[in-house]
Chain A
């Protein structure tokens, strides 16, 4: 047996080699923020079930500067998630044809982003209406 050692290129840090891969990893990293936000809300639901004093403590924690700063990060991350999500939707869904022509990816992305803006605005207006 010969001691042949074939060269195998290391895959360490593969995603730092190309801006496309870096964007890919940032997009995947938004999942951490989505989970973190779900955890914040889940904790709120648990505290709500535990009673008023427990819930008040959760609410007070949300008012702390740390929480506000954290939610700014969450907000930025989720905006990027929305943006990147609708970029990949055309790549993951089966192609749709309208009038014999394939629906262009940019149209699907644009429709998704408009839908997100619309639903968000409706949600905010609904709460402004309830709050007033």
Chain B
């Protein structure tokens, strides 16, 4: 019997769901509201030199890669299954599109972080 690939996608969905549930709201608050407004946190926290240093560090790289890729795998898995809930009958195209988006995003994140260097 052919082994199902579902556990892989489900694990990525679960890991991304857990990570985004734990830090998602705070991350949005930090990167999208507090830092751009200079409210609570200094506006230069995400300046080019600071973020370059952050992304060049192995821990910063790992964090950025984990957040971007796992959030994507979580989201697309859920969207794919919701499309079925909304009555989409043929699923192959939707599956390829959804997981393809996550795969592309993961590859772009890895490539960018490598280009940024160490």
Contact = CB atoms under 8 A, between A and B. Distances in A.
Main secondary structure on chain B at its contact with chain A?
helix
Contact of B30 (A40, A44, A124): A124
Contacts of B22: 82, 115-116, 119-120
B112 A45 contact: yes
Given A70-B32, A75-B29, 18 more contacts: A11-B87, A34-B24, A34-B74, A35-B76, A35-B101, A39-B105, A41-B31, A42-B105, A42-B109, A45-B64, A45-B68, A45-B113, A46-B108, A48-B55, A55-B48, A79-B25, A123-B30, A124-B26
Given A31-B78, A31-B82, A131-B45, A72 B33 contact: yes
A48 B25 CA distance: 23
B32 A74 contact: yes
Contacts, number: 163
Interface of A: 11-12, 15, 25, 28-29, 31-32, 34-35, 37-42, 44-46, 48-49, 52, 55-56, 59, 62-63, 67-68, 70-72, 74-75, 78-79, 81-82, 85-86, 92, 112, 115-116, 119-120, 123-124, 127-128, 130-131
Interface of B: 14, 16-18, 20-33, 35-37, 40-42, 45-48, 51-52, 55, 64, 67-68, 71-72, 74-79, 81-82, 85, 87, 101, 105, 108-109, 111-113, 115-116
A29 B79 CA distance: 8
Nearest to B35: A62
A78 B24 contact: yes
Contacts of B33: 68, 71-72, 75
Nearest to B72: A38
Given A25-B82, A45-B112, A52-B48, A75 B25 contact: yes
Given A75-B25, A85-B18, A116-B21, A63 B112 contact: no
